[in-house]
Amino acid sequence: RVLCVGVAVLDNMFAIDHFPAEPTKVFARNFRQVGGGPAANAAVTIARLGGKVSLWARVGDDGIGAGVIAELSHYKVDTSTIRRVPGRRTGVSAVMVDENGERFIIAFADRELDADPSWLPSQLPDEIDTVLCDVRWPAASEKVLRMALENRIPSVLDADLTNDDAVERLIGLSSHAVFSAPALRRLAATDDIEGGLRAAQSQTRGTVSVTLGADGFAWLEHGEVRRIRAFPIEAVDTLAAGDVFHGAFALALAEGHSTESAGQFAGAAAALKCTRWGGRAGIPTREELDEFITE
């Protein structure tokens, strides 16, 4: 079982032909509302791939939050530790996806959505094999990463751009820090992937890695840069690709795989998701993924 910790929101997705060069009105070719948020998407990925998963998160006490929880339960994510914070609003985003599958996102997060993680259980549930934390709820992620350290279980940190201070604080607590390329660039103040990984490695005893979109995945192993190429696919929607990667990666670690084979499994899951429109709705099942890998 994997424990995911972080953010759950609602994404409003619009398919458009191309991004406008200046402010104007654009008609969408398609529209869909789906749940989002890095930790929530990763949790759905784990459930779809046949793993057991719990999500520790918060939403507002509005209708959106109720819908977000219902959708997660539908995917068989254990939502018993999602808190509905009184008087607060659930995070939402508008996601424009163009013809190449690239996205432009406007996100709203209620700043008053309680950041205090003291109501979370002070111990990990017994059966947890791996934890996965995003950096958008740093106080909870720190608490859970420390628990994982004490229990000597693997932990995946989704080291994303949104919260620089948190990345620096949390990277040393995780056994596997997975950077997005912009976050690694920001941390290391260099465009060079190898230099970035080495700078990140100087801050942790864990494994440091980076997802590189269509260029795949890279990590440091015994001081050497290792790479896995991305699956050659026609991307129609890259929303949640990173989250799917993190979820599948954490599940593979929980199943005892090495960084290399977890990276291969996660790259396949993320690539298959990119071939389908609709953010989270495109996350594959285990059967679909097995078929995709053997094709």
Q: Using CB under 6 A as the criterion, which residues of the chain lie in contact with ligand ADP when the complex forms?
A: 180, 211-214, 216-217, 230-231, 233, 235, 238, 241-242, 245, 267, 270-271, 274
Handedness of CA 26, 28, 32, 37 (dihedral sign): negative
Nearest to 71 by CA among 86, 85, 88, 59: 59
Closest CB to ligand ADP among residues 79, 211 = 211
What distance in Å separates the CA atoms of residue 65 and residue 290, rounded to the nearest whole number? 33
Closest CB 134 distance from ligand ADP, rounded Å: 11
Residue 43 beta carbon to ligand ADP: minimum distance, rounded to whole angstroms: 16
Q: Which is nearer to ligand ADP, 124 or 233 (CB)?
A: 233
Residue 246 Cβ, how far from ligand ADP at the closest point, in Å?
A: 8
Nearer to ligand ADP, 147 or 281 (CB): 281
CA separation for the pair 40, 4 (Å, rounded): 7
**Helices and strands: H and E segment counts in the chain:** 9, 13
Residue number closest to ligand ADP, CB atom: 242
Q: Rounded to the nearest whole angstrom, what is the least distance from the CB of residue 138 to ligand ADP in the complex?
A: 18
* Strand-pair partners of 15: 30, 97
Crossing angle of helices 38-48/63-74, nearest 10°?
30
Instruction: Please identify, using beta-carbon distances, which residue of 88 and 273 lies nearer to ligand ADP.
Output: 273
Using N-to-C axis directions, what is the helix angle for 241-254 and 38-48, rounded to 10°? 50
CB of 241 to ligand ADP, least distance (A): 4
Q: Identify which of residues 91 and 247 has a Cβ nearer to ligand ADP in the complex.
A: 247
